[in-house]
Amino acid sequence: MENVFINISNWIKGLISILGIPNTLVSIIMSVVYFIAIVAFVLFNAMYLIYLERKFCGYLQQRLGPNRFGPRGLFQSFADVVKLLGKEDIIPKKADRLVFVIASLLVMVPALLIYAVLPFGKNMVAVDLNLGLFYFLAISGTSFIPILMAGWGSNNKYSLIGGMRVVAQMISYEIPLIFSLLGVVMLSGSLNLTEIIAAQNKVWFIFLQPIAFIIYLIAATAELNRGPFDLPEAEQEIVAGPFTEYSGMRYALFYLAEYTNMFAISALTVTLFLGGPSGPILPSWIWFILKTYGIVLVFMLVRWTFPRFRLDHMMSLNWKYLIPISLINILVTGIGIKIFS
């Protein structure tokens, strides 16, 4: 069970090699196979996360949630996909058509690229980069661009306000998020995610960096634009923000990107603070999935528990509290390393 996916990968690689294909081409073909596997995982996982959140929300609110289509409503997300595929794709007459259309396609690009460096288990990483953490943060940091394009291309006041809120929020909260991770990098001495996991073989970094972990979770929630930081699409103010004019599958792509990013951020949390895929008895990839879904449930619990922030309060929390505390945490970590080294 531990090496089931590695064995499948080696079997496919051996099958291709039998055909007498050059090693360089084999590597390219395997990269395509890994990409297809990641896309398939992301799509089916996102559909399940949508179902899970609806059931979890129902549980918190003492109601049933989806319960009609499939056992316990398990196939509800498939029904939603069919419904969205059948909806008319409406593009506003005065919208910038090119920007409007491209935005809905580009939104999934960063969401998919960041999965390349995530270690899903022992020796289960598509691309083991020495700068894996830097790559993850750099790529995820561009995810606001398609949303800003959607707000601008819609030629709608509500959409533009929502798009600008996304830019202000994501750029601002990216600062404490990165600062909170510097302590982890200092302790592990590496930006390679596999090496960061190996550095936690004795004690998880959540116990050495509890303040950084809390700051990271708060900043990550804001980066995902999820409640209580969902001001870019605050329905009582700006309808649906940058997504107001979108319909059908174009709207679904934005929705899909949100859950794809949430799982990736949760997976990074597990990698940096919870020892990655390490754990007793069960295969490493099962431990990784269980831990990641645990963090996902925390994000869901926060969304359905706390009311939405006011915009000025949200920005004050970041600039007046999270950034100074994260800087102090870096200083204390440096002093601690110097003392105990």
pLDDT band at 139 (very low <50, low <70, confident <90, very high): very high
Name the residue with higher pLDDT: 18 or 286: 286
- How many Å apart are CA 178 and CA 184, to the nearest integer? 10
Residue 323 pLDDT greater than 90, yes or no: yes
Residue 51 pLDDT greater than 80, yes or no: yes
57, 304 contact by CB (below 8 A): yes
Residue 273 has a pLDDT of 94
Q: Please report where in the chains the tokens 């963090």 appear, as a residue.
A: 295
**Which tens digits make up the pLDDT trace of 69-101?**
888 888 888 888 888 788 888 888 888 888 888
Residue 2 pLDDT greater than 70, yes or no: no
Confidence (pTM): 0.90
Residue 247 has a pLDDT of 82
Kindly state the average pLDDT of the residues 12-17: 77
Residue 331 has a pLDDT of 95
Q: Would you call 81 exposed, middle or buried from its count of C-beta atoms within 10 A (0-12, 13-18, 19+)?
A: middle
Q: What backbone torsions phi and psi does residue 299 show, to the nearest 5 degrees? A: -60, -40
pLDDT above 70 as % of the chain: 98
**Which tens digits make up the pLDDT trace of 234-257?**
766 777 778 888 888 888 888 888
What single-letter amino acid sits at 312?
D
Residue 219 pLDDT greater than 90, yes or no: yes
Residue 176 has a pLDDT of 94
pLDDT band at 283 (very low <50, low <70, confident <90, very high): confident
Neighbours of 89 (CB within 10 A): 12
319, 172 contact by CB (below 8 A): yes
Q: Mean pLDDT of all residues in the chain?
A: 87
For the record, the structure tokens of 23 come out as 């090693």
184, 209 contact by CB (below 8 A): yes
Residue 332 pLDDT greater than 90, yes or no: yes
What radius of gyration, in Å, describes the C-alpha atoms of the chain?
21
Residue 265 has a pLDDT of 94
Measured CA angle at 136 (ends 200, 139), to 5 deg = 175
Residue 264 has a pLDDT of 93
Name the residue with higher pLDDT: 219 or 67: 219
Closest CA to 268 of 199, 321, 196, 323: 196
- How many Å apart are CA 333 and CA 210, to the nearest integer? 11
Under the phi-then-psi rule, with left for phi > 0, alpha for psi from -120 to 50, and beta for the rest, what region is 17?
Answer: alpha
Closest CA to 74 of 100, 48, 98: 48
Read out DSSP for 95-154?
A: S-HHHHHHHHHHTHHHHHHGGGG---STT--S---TTHHHHHHHHHTTTHHHHHHHHHHT
Domain extents for the chain? 4-340
Residue 161 pLDDT greater than 70, yes or no: yes
Residue 187 has a pLDDT of 92
Residue 21 pLDDT greater than 90, yes or no: no
**Which tens digits make up the pLDDT trace of 171-193?**
899 999 999 999 999 999 899 99
Residue 1 has a pLDDT of 65
